[in-house]
Amino acid sequence: MTTADLGRGRRVGVPSTALFTDQYELTMLQAALKSGTAGRRSVFEVFTRRLPEGRRYGVVAGTGRVLDAVENFRFDPDVLAFLREKDIVDGATLDWLAGYRFSGDIWGYPEGEVYFPGSPILRVEGSFAECVLLETVILSILNHDSAIAAAASRMSSAAGGRPLIEMGARRTHELSAVAASRAAYVGGFASTSDLAAGFRYDIPTVGTSAHAFTLLHDSERDAFRAQVDSLGGGTTLLVDTYDVAEAVRTAVDIAGPELGAVRIDSGDLLLVAHRVRQQLDELGATDTKIIVTSDLDEYAIASLAAAPVDAYGVGTQLVTGSGHPTASMVYKLVARAESADPGAPLVPVAKKSSGGKTSVGGRKWAARRLDGHGVAEAEVIGTGEVPDELAGRQLLVPLVEGGEVLVRETLDVIRDRHAAARAGLPLSATQLSRGEPVLPTEYAHGTSGS
């Protein structure tokens, strides 16, 4: 077992990621080794042909986890024994896998950056053999995390600066929940209820009590008294178990006007929030905050913009991508050498088919063109030389060189990058109404889009 840097200085042991793959990647490897093509230098790119319906931009998230996965992609004895027992590949392939270490290069959009259809979000270069094996693990991470981050970004924009709490762990797979917390933080959330996410990624954690705690006690007053005695007057009391107005009176009576916050988890949140705010102010608890939860999404959050709400807790809709649980990214071979000779030139390759599944061949660069006001106006993608006017606006950065990871960033750096990238888009990017991507994708140097 090796270790990977999974947060801001936190190192957590992780097992081999080698079986986070599809069988056909290993059978392709076996056939390529036999045919003599496995060593051909190859270029794979990750991109999406379209954004989810109605979305104006995508968010790159999960890159740090991809780098950890590549670093830990090792075929240890137990994994090799499984492959041998199941007769998945032959002995020569198993011998090759035993020494597998990715030794190529990876370039990509910095994590937290925005992307558009056709954007070469990640570029993986090396031999065909070592690159093809990484397809599934890279896509599983980027597709999940980018979908969650995009939903989080829309929600944080709708929140208008009010903090958001990620609280969806019970609505998804336990490991997906940790990744979702990370992606949500990248997209603009302020904290999480998931302690595993807090441990791994040093995301601020929050949480006080659920309805079960109130129901445990003989009265709501007893429950509030127990919580305040344990956690102090600055705690958050859940006030909708029985009667909200009576609960608010009891909460202030017990905690005093220094009560930290009340949480509302049901009912007409807009109406109830206004009534609770008025009641708190009348009771002298003018600094007590109001937190709302209850199946919120970006539209519900936007509808509460005029409500006296101080923070939102979001669960199900966030961890399921608010209706779009995947970013639909693909991993395609776009160039390969004419032979296994290290000096053989690269030739563009691309799938040609009907049904919208064509792709664009060639090793690509990407740049974002700005208008006269410094606002992004187009995503420009091309092959060959980068035009001088775009040289300073290139988006891909080196992430891995010769198999060595070059970039380890804190989540705060990534989160700030996303906020800056979103702020650099046209204002219509944050509209929740359905529309096309806010930036058009343009192809340069004879590169044709599809």
Q: For 251-284, how does the pLDDT look when each residue is reduced to its tens digit (9 = 90+)?
A: 999 999 999 999 999 999 999 999 999 999 999 9
CATH number at residue 245: 3.20.20.70
Same domain, 123 and 83: yes
Which residue, of 323, 339, 366, is where some domain finishes?
323
In a domain, 15, yes or no: yes
Query: What per-residue confidence (pLDDT) applies to 4?
Result: 39
In a domain, 146, yes or no: no
Query: What per-residue confidence (pLDDT) applies to 7?
Result: 43
CA distance 91 to 81: 11
Same domain, 317 and 346: no
Domain count, the chain: 2
What percent of the chain clears pLDDT 70, i.e. is strictly above it?
A: 95
Same domain, 60 and 18: yes
**Is a pLDDT exceeding 70 seen at residue 71?**
yes
- Structure-token pair, residue 408: 């380890």
Same domain, 211 and 341: no
Mean pLDDT of 412-436: 95
Query: What per-residue confidence (pLDDT) applies to 433?
Result: 87
Query: What per-residue confidence (pLDDT) applies to 6?
Result: 40
Q: Residue 2 — pLDDT band, cuts 50, 70, 90?
A: very low
**Is a pLDDT exceeding 70 seen at residue 356?**
no
CATH number at residue 88: 3.20.140.10
CB of 154 closer than 8 Å to CB of 322:
yes
Same domain, 116 and 174: no
- Structure-token pair, residue 442: 């343009």
What percent of the chain clears pLDDT 90, i.e. is strictly above it?
A: 90
In a domain, 139, yes or no: no
pLDDT in tens, 364-397: 999 999 999 999 999 999 999 999 999 999 999 9
Same domain, 125 and 45: yes
**Is a pLDDT exceeding 60 seen at residue 3?**
no
- Mean pLDDT of the residues in the chain: 94
Mean pLDDT of 343-361: 83
**Is a pLDDT exceeding 60 seen at residue 287?**
yes
Same domain, 177 and 309: yes
Mean pLDDT of 236-260: 98
Q: How many residues does the chain have?
A: 450
In a domain, 148, yes or no: no
Query: What per-residue confidence (pLDDT) applies to 447?
Result: 61
Which residue, of 259, 291, 323, is where some domain finishes?
323
pLDDT in tens, 16-53: 899 999 999 999 999 999 999 999 999 999 999 999 99
Query: What per-residue confidence (pLDDT) applies to 16?
Result: 86
The residues that bridge with 47 in the sheet, in sequence order, are 330
The residues that bridge with 44 in the sheet, in sequence order, are 124, 333
Phi and psi at 383, nearest 5°, equal: -120, 160
Which residue, of 283, 301, 323, is where some domain finishes?
323
Same domain, 182 and 269: yes
Q: Residue 446 — pLDDT band, cuts 50, 70, 90?
A: low
In a domain, 151, yes or no: no
CA distance 119 to 142: 14
CB-based burial of residue 1 (10 Å sphere; 0-12 exposed, 13-18 middle, 19+ buried)? exposed
Distance of CA 424 to the CA centre of its chain: 20
Q: Residue 435 — pLDDT band, cuts 50, 70, 90?
A: confident
- The pTM for the full model equals 0.93
CB of 128 closer than 8 Å to CB of 336:
yes
Same domain, 167 and 272: yes
In a domain, 144, yes or no: no
In a domain, 145, yes or no: no
**Is a pLDDT exceeding 60 seen at residue 14?**
no
Mean pLDDT of 344-361: 82
pLDDT in tens, 138-174: 999 999 999 999 999 999 999 999 999 999 999 999 9
Same domain, 313 and 336: no
Same domain, 287 and 378: no
For residue 63, the enclosing domain spans 2-133+328-444
In a domain, 394, yes or no: yes
Contacts of 297 (CB under 8 A, 6+ apart): 151, 155, 314, 317, 318, 322, 323
Same domain, 295 and 348: no
Query: What per-residue confidence (pLDDT) applies to 352?
Result: 80
